[in-house]
Amino acid sequence: MRPSTSQRSIVAAFAVGALTLAPASLAASPTAATCPSASVVSAALKQKDKTPTTITTSYSKTCTYPGGGIVPTKITFQQDTASTFAAGEKAASALGIVKVSGLGQAAWATKAGGDLEVYKSGETVKILSPLTPASELEALARKLI
């Protein structure tokens, strides 16, 4: 069975997300950001997320929220540069993106939803939540930024 266009878009969005998680600087320490509570994420994304698990690397912190859908919601706080953020945006443009104004120094989301990224002051905040509309991702990002 051949995947639908929306399924291919979701897979492509996650592929782009994986590419843009490359470290800006391996020598940088992890971000000090704290994971938002499950209740904040659940309210913004209109789903029922559970307490997140956290993975911290030398350049990022990823908060994974099980329970909201088939694929858990992930919020990553990653050290970044304006140029690598722009490169990730350019790579994602093949999927179809929309710029989000008034959020950080630069922000974009995939048109199909599921992925929103915000750059602000040397950090990218990436929200991945498959099948979630961009408007709900934006509402969550506005609470985090």
Q: Which two tokens stand for residue 42?
A: 């659940």
Give the pLDDT confidence of 77-86 residue by residue, as tens digits: 999 999 999 9
* C-alpha 126: how far from chain center: 2
What pLDDT, on a 0 to 100 scale, did the predictor assign at position 113?
A: 85
**Percent residues over pLDDT 70 in the chain:** 79
Whole-prediction pTM value?
0.79
Mean pLDDT, rounded, for 88-111:
94
- Tell the CATH topology of 5-144: Protein Transport Mog1p; Chain A (3.40.1000)
Check residue 131 and give its pLDDT: 87
Residue 18 makes CB contacts below 8 A (sequence gap 6+) with none
Higher model confidence: residue 67 or residue 73? 73
